[in-house]
Structure 1
Amino acid sequence: MKTLLSISICILFFSGFSQDLKPQELLEKAISYHDPNGNWLQFKDTFTVEMTMPNAPKRTSVITINLPAEYFSVTATKDTVTTTYTLEKGKCQMQYNGVVLDSLKAADKDMTCDRATLYKNYYSYLYGLPMKLRDPGTNLSDNVEKKRFKGKDYLVLKVTYDDAVGNDVWYFYFNPKAYAMEIYQFFKTDDQGKVKPESGEYILLTGETLLNGIKIPKVRAWYYNKEGKYLGTDTLIED
């Protein structure tokens, strides 16, 4: 009886807490946890990410993001091939095994400036979360949801984007005590904007690394939403 009462009190507390907390309040608490000194907008650092996938060679990427200088670079090595994409104030440069390529030679290697921009947006978004949820065109849901995922309880923000930004629907899972971001998940939508329930992926975040005073998840393990099939893992390699 005592155990049952304790569980009931815990459930009531959690339920009431999640209902009282507004989406913007949850986001600000999460940002305060990950970026307590507001360093993201001045982010300037270089870090290494190792990607492993089943039945595929390891890929090591050295990434530089310098937001004040509008500079981004990623150098990725896989097997014997190294590619570099650099964007500086919108100017694009591409290298293949250390040799600078013009647009025609780059196209022969399946390298484009559009891909450079894609990488810039990808790494800036994922490694800038949850701070990037303040960006224009980002729409928080009206309520904070309570969800249980893989045996743990979370406070969850549902996020959609203006059409000019993207059409995917994202869910961000935060620890209800510390407000650390521990999972994110996205789904594709159809032409009517409805979620395709078997589309998309979820990403489990474990460990933390400090970059520019920001607590950034160290390990990201990717899975398909459909059947939970494992895709691969990105790991921040500390010096």
Structure 2
Amino acid sequence: MYEEPKKFGDSIDNQMAKLVDQAINKPMKTETLTKLEEQYLVPENCKRLQVPKVNKEIWRGFKSKKQRDPDLALQNVQKCMTTTLLMVVKSLNVMKSGGDMNEVKNTTKDMFKMLTHGIYTSNRKRKQLITPGISSKYRRVTEVDTPVTEYLFGDNLDTKLEDLEKEDRRTNKLSFNDSFLEERRVEKRPGPPWQKPPYFQPKHAKTSGQVHGQKGNKNKKMKAGFHNKDKR
């Protein structure tokens, strides 16, 4: 499929560009996120600036966690969006009323934090939704925590997969050599009981003596019987 080359704008400060890359691939700390959400509250006369809840009648019908999780994930993304919009509205309100521009400066920094966190959250959710449909061949190189580049699962997946396969072959070869050498070092051990030679009891055993003794007495009686016949 043909793709037209994407157009880009003017470059920004290198440190700022690096900061953006890092922020998009790293979640905000929970305490920082909570603090920002508590700092920027929904205005009393602008209640639409909040995440809409699912109607109770419908929500009660979601019996399993599997049914609720997708919407909860989207609610988290929307929460980032609405909080950021609250910051924008606050800044615009300050500028409109001729307020302190330093306040706008600080709010803009908070916008950056909230927006990058929202992008991180949405990217992570996209990976979770896509992963079940990914070919098993690429599962090992498409982890949810894989850093995002221009592509959701990073660059050069084929190269990463090839490197993993080479490492697997190397590991399997080492494992085979180790097991082969180990077999040569192990002393020969006796086999299971059914492979042992038959057990012969010694002649001096009581059981043996009793058996032979009984046979001997029987033979003597038989010989005596023959002698008695001759005498008759």
Larger radius of gyration: 2
More helix by share: 2
Coarse TM-score class (shorter-chain normalised)? under 0.3
